[in-house]
Amino acid sequence: MLRRLGPELYAEALAAHRQTLRDAFAAEGGVEIDTQGDAFFVAFPTAGGTAAALLEDEPLRDLGLHRLKDFDAPARLFQLGVADFPPLRTAGAVDLPTPATRFLGRERELFEATSSSPSLTRSRSRISDIASRRT
């Protein structure tokens, strides 16, 4: 943008951009902590205020509830802007009950954990071993 506008027009455009953002932040109770280039670090009293300031001119499309890996319950997802993207590939439909186990989709690990030893004590040890390797 600097090359396209030149140094003087770029400085004016950047100043106008910053002022527009500062006005939106202030309208929602935001406090500017720092700025570098065109990036801002702003604190808001509420998450809703943050979203309102950032979404002032952008439409937000509700994509509905989706099951996401490693989430216990469905999460509501949103898309910022109007562009069309491919459909989401999520772990499952939200009209199904919440899985009874976090091993859903991890059949291989579950099989290894339960078949590594006939003893329940040793199986628990194997499950702990798998969990500690992932951290």
Dump pLDDT digits (tens) for 11-64.
999 899 889 889 989 998 999 999 887 788 999 998 888 878 877 767 778 888
- Are 105 and 75 found together in one domain? no
- Are 131 and 105 found together in one domain? yes
- Give me the residues paired with residue 36 across strands: 39
Q: Is the pTM of this model over 0.75?
A: no
Residue 49 lies in a domain: yes
Which structural domain, as residue segments, surrounds residue 19?
1-81
- Are 77 and 104 found together in one domain? no
Residue 26 lies in a domain: yes
* Dist. CA 51–CA 73, nearest whole Å: 23
Which pair of tokens denotes residue 48? 């809703």
Whether the CA torsion 84, 86, 88, 93 is positive or negative: it is positive
Dump pLDDT digits (tens) for 118-134.
554 444 555 555 555 55
- Are 63 and 9 found together in one domain? yes
pLDDT at 37: 75
pLDDT at 12: 93
Q: What one-letter code names the amino acid at 5?
A: L
Label residue 112 by pLDDT band (50, 70, 90): confident
Q: Considering only CA atoms, which of 64, 50, 53, 59 is closest in space to residue 81?
A: 59
